[in-house]
Amino acid sequence: MFTDLLRDNVMRNIVLVGFMGTGKTTVGRLIAEKTGMPLVDMDSMIVKRAGKSINEIFAEDGEPHFRLLERELVKELSARSDQIISTGGGIVLNPENIADFEETGLVVCLLADAGSVLERVRHDSARPLLAGDKEAKVIALLESRKPLYEAIAHKIDTSGRPSPAPTAQEIIDLYESNSR
Ligand SMILES: Nc1ncnc2c1ncn2[C@@H]1O[C@H](COP(=O)(O)OP(=O)(O)OP(=O)(O)O)[C@@H](O)[C@H]1O
Ligand SMILES: O=C(O)C1=C[C@@H](O)[C@@H](O)[C@H](O)C1
Ligand SMILES: [Mg+2]
């Protein structure tokens, strides 16, 4: 009985993790469109609930407060099923977040090399951790977080892929083969 419940629930969510600019939001949106499952973009939900931007949360309340908001939202979302969840890039910083998501979903890590990330986030100033010398920050942060992203079992390297569509389809195929 218990194993039946576990088996029924184990692949219910699709959770996208990865560094900034790897395409979690964009690919999540496409998967939601193709499958009809609802999308929860964690950054957008945090912004909506806080009533201020991520830049404002970091500047006014500090990064530790943002990580707490993320942690609370992970607990809430991992208790639900049948959603696509696009996480923020720093979700891997707390291993409890990944453990919780793995309980009820397929966790997929999107990877991209520094050049591809820079190309994708070049004109965007909504990411406080990349303020200032964007190139230096991407290279340093990507390097320091690499082991955390590499530790995720399912990974897709999106480097040099001009379109998010093949990545979305790959994830849908993986989800379907894991749900069978
Ligand atoms: N192959 C690709 N896959 C996904 N996104 C791509 C790809 N090529 C270019 N992009 C573009 O990269 C940009 C950044 O993607 P997106 O905002 O989805 O990243 P993210 O992983 O959600 O970042 P963050 O962690 O900061 O929320 C988007 O404008 C998207 O259109
Ligand atoms: O990689 C990170 O630490 C972040 C990524 C974004 O998605 C946002 O969650 C925020 O800008 C922090
Ligand atoms: Mg995003």
57 in Cβ contact with 75 (< 8 Å): no
List per-block mean pLDDT (blocks of 10 residues) for the chain, which spans 180 residues: 44 93 97 97 98 98 98 96 97 98 96 97 93 96 98 97 96 90
Entry pTM: 0.94
23 lines ligand 2 (CB under 6 A): no
Residues with CB under 6 A from ligand 1: 18, 20-27, 43, 86, 88-89, 120, 127, 158, 161-164, 167
Nearest to 90 by CA among 123, 122, 45, 43: 43
Q: 2-165: which CATH architecture?
A: 3-Layer(aba) Sandwich (3.40)
Nearest to 87 by CA among 139, 148, 144, 147: 148
DSSP summary character for residue 36: -
- Helix 63-78 / helix 95-104 crossing angle, nearest 10 deg: 20
Residue with tokens 């009985």: 1
128 lines ligand 2 (CB under 6 A): yes
Ligand nearest to the CA of 21: 1
